[in-house]
A and B are shown apart, each in its own frame.
Chain A
Amino acid sequence: MIAEPHSHGDQWIICEHCDSVYESMPLNKGEAAYCLRCAAILRRSHRLTLEQLLALSIAACILFIFANVFPVITISMQGLHNEVTLWGSVQALAQGQITLIALVAGLAIILAPALQIALLFWVLAHAHRGEIAPGFKMCMRTLEHLRPWSMLEVCLLGILVAIVKLAGMLDVHAGVGLWAMAMLMVLILLIAGKDIRRLWDELGVQPE
């Protein structure tokens, strides 16, 4: 039988989807723990070390700059050229009555990923040296709240759809920004998942 829990919270796992309690067990590489009651994933073994996560967040930072500086799509029509960056597409929505949706789009494809990368770099760079970053709690809370609003994978699909849509009437070319976007999307999936919560335990942040 399971013993009464006491102050050492990390011995227990509670399923966030159904409130079932399990005793925490160490996982081997590639293993995942599932809730027996509702079949949700309780925990996954860590695929990457903190060092690798830090390296990937630096790479993400560089790719993010590329994705934002270079155009994602270039078109030409009867000798005229035009190109669009991520910021340009957000600006296109910021006209008149529909400005509100430009804010949502800006959050989803620029602001949220940028903050995620910056905050991850900040906490991971300190974790790499075994320190708890200044403002650690706020950074980690912000990362949790940003996650659902970061939509780079949707944006990537949107770029591809836009290319196919315009290919019928104009000359369309994928820009450097698109390739950076594609790689950045993979990196964000790897580094910005729920897995980052491990820092709480690994850095031994003490509850007050």
Chain B
Amino acid sequence: MNGIPYAREYKITLCHVCSYVCAEEAHECPRCNSPVHRRKPNSLTRTWAFLIAGLIFYIPANLLPVMYTTMLGSSSENTIMSGVIEFAESGSWDIAILIFIASVVVPCIKFLVLGLMLVTCQRRSTWAMRERSRLFRFIELIGYWSMLDVLVVALVAALVQFRGLSTIEPRLGILFFGLVVVMTMLAAMTFDPRLIWDAEVEDVR
């Protein structure tokens, strides 16, 4: 694993917007004028902040109803989990699993993995660095699929608008759920995966 030089050994740094190789002391990329940092500023603190905000929003997202349905006089409110259970009971196992993965499994994996990244980086752990890098790229990839439930509620609520017969309205829970997705996306964006590898050497700022 050793032998591959790090950018800092050459006093260069990467522009994340245009991939230009900048001088280490540059504050702005000479080619695309974006700000350049050797490491994303305050990466750990900011990621913690977004992660904790996401966790807090996740509570009302699961407790509050996301959808309000009136069907021929009878009305009901659904939370995310009760929606999944309803699908499973009506026999649509495939859709139940799909929604369960997108709205429960993916956010929970994101919370766990980001928490793991933050703790291991703060302890400067050299454990499984390659695997942790892969894991981080994986959650970056799957993160935005959680938006699925928000978009489904939007579509269904826009469609089922038959006054007197049947209506579906979005409810407050979906706002919190959408915010969870945005927060975890921001957390993944502010985390700097290069910190994983900084454990090999002295402090890099």
The B interface, classified by DSSP as helix, strand, loop or mixed, is: helix
Q: Which residue of B lies closest to A104 (CB)?
A: B178
**B130 at interface, CB cutoff 8 A:** yes
Within 8 A of B (CB), among A125-162: 137, 140-141, 144, 148, 151, 154-155, 157-159, 161-162
**B169 at interface, CB cutoff 8 A:** yes
Chain A residues, CB < 8 A from B4: 20-22, 36-37
Count of interface residues, chain B, beta-carbon cutoff 8 Å: 71
Least CB distance from B139 to A in Å reads 13
Least CB distance from B185 to A in Å reads 7
Count of interface residues, chain A, beta-carbon cutoff 8 Å: 70
In the assembled complex, the Cα of A109 lies from the Cα of B18 at a distance in Å of: 25
Least CB distance from B205 to A in Å reads 13
Within 8 A of A (CB), among B59-85: 71
In the assembled complex, the Cα of A40 lies from the Cα of B133 at a distance in Å of: 8
**A84 at interface, CB cutoff 8 A:** yes
**A97 at interface, CB cutoff 8 A:** yes
A18 touches B197 (CB 8 A): yes
Partner pick for A21 among B12, B33, B145, B157, CB 8 A cutoff: B12
B170 touches A12 (CB 8 A): no
Least CB distance from B201 to A in Å reads 10
A-contact 0/1 string along B25-46, CB 8 Å cutoff:
0000111111000000000000
Q: Which residue of B lies closest to A107 (CB)?
A: B182
Partner pick for B155 among A95, A144, A159, A205, CB 8 A cutoff: A159
Within 8 A of B (CB), among A79-101: 80, 82-84, 88-93, 95, 97-98, 100-101
**B112 at interface, CB cutoff 8 A:** no
In the assembled complex, the Cα of A202 lies from the Cα of B71 at a distance in Å of: 59
Partner pick for A37 among B1, B12, B34, B99, CB 8 A cutoff: B1
A95 touches B169 (CB 8 A): yes
B159 touches A19 (CB 8 A): no
Chain A residues, CB < 8 A from B129: 38
Partner pick for A17 among B31, B90, B193, CB 8 A cutoff: B193
Partner pick for B161 among A82, A93, A169, CB 8 A cutoff: A82
In the assembled complex, the Cα of A84 lies from the Cα of B151 at a distance in Å of: 12
A-contact 0/1 string along B157-175, CB 8 Å cutoff:
1111110011001111011
Q: Which of B98, B137, B174, B175 has the most CB of A within 10 A?
A: B175
**B7 at interface, CB cutoff 8 A:** yes
Least CB distance from A54 to B in Å reads 20
A92 touches B31 (CB 8 A): no
A162 touching B159 in the complex, CB below 8 Å, given contacts A39-B130, A105-B150, A141-B17: yes
Q: Which of A5, A95, A161 has the most CB of B within 10 A?
A: A161
A14 touches B14 (CB 8 A): yes
In the assembled complex, the Cα of A89 lies from the Cα of B150 at a distance in Å of: 10
**Which 6 A-B pairs have CB atoms at the shortest separation, nearest pair first?**
A158-B151, A207-B30, A92-B158, A9-B21, A38-B133, A14-B14
